[in-house]
């Protein structure tokens, strides 16, 4: 699931293609028509679906449409890779323990929108990213993996974001592999 440029989506596809991640991306769902993630899916030959949040009466209605879409593709594990929408129990419960998110901060610090801006405003010397399971509280689920980057004295939003994003691309496939292994072990 993606809302923006889709770099984390492409990192997952590449990790699958090069054998780093023994998985297959079967579907991309975007909520913004014409977003970069949609273009990446087309270029990479990955099926995609648009579920525009503006076309749904409520967050719950959007999440039910997501559940229906993902189940129709027999999805085992769902990755929120830059999904800029708060999800509801409708989606969380349908994929409980199988829904993960990547967030550009070292949680539990700087939850929610513009975590990079929050980190810069707070004057921290260390920032980073976190992959966590999704629960009903925003950015509060079980942490699976984290990566830290130093905040440089001359950093601005763009430069710090770029360093964090490089770590996201490395961390997200590893966290998906970890969760998949955990799910496999619990089933057998």
Class of domain 7-187: alpha beta
Query: Domain residues of the chain, as ranges?
Result: 7-187
- Across the chain, mean pLDDT equals 96
Q: What is the largest CA-CA distance in the chain?
A: 51
Region 115-136 average pLDDT: 98
- pLDDT for the residue numbered 185: 87
- pLDDT for the residue numbered 188: 67
Residue 71 predicted with pLDDT over 70:
yes
- pLDDT for the residue numbered 134: 98
pLDDT over 70 percentage in the chain: 99
pTM, two decimals, is 0.94
Respond yes or no: is residue 53 known to be catalytic.
no
**Contacting residues for 148 by C-beta, under 8 A, at least 6 apart:** 106, 126, 127, 128, 167
**Catalytic pick among 103, 132, 157, 169:** 103
Site of tokens 């130093």: 150
Q: Which two tokens stand for residue 171?
A: 């961390």
């Amino acid at each position: 699931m993606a809302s923006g440029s889709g770099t984390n989506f492409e990192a997952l596809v590449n990790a699958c293609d090069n054998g780093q991640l023994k998985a297959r991306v079967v579907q991309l769902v975007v909520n913004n028509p014409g977003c970069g993630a949609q273009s990446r899916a087309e270029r990479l030959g990955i099926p995609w679906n648009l579920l525009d949040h503006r076309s749904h009466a409520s967050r719950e209605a959007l999440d039910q449409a997501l559940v229906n879409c993902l189940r129709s593709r027999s999805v085992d594990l769902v990755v929120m890779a830059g999904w800029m929408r708060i999800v509801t129990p409708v989606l969380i419960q349908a994929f409980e323990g199988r829904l993960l998110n990547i967030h550009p901060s070292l949680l539990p610090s700087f939850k929610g929108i513009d975590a990079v801006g929050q980190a810069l405003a707070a004057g921290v010397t260390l920032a980073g990213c976190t992959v966590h399971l999704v629960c009903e509280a925003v950015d509060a689920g079980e942490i699976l993996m984290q990566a830290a980057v130093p905040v440089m004295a001359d950093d601005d939003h763009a430069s710090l974001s770029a360093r964090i994003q490089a770590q996201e691309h490395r961390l997200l496939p590893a966290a998906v592999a970890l969760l998949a292994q955990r799910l496999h072990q619990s089933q057998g």
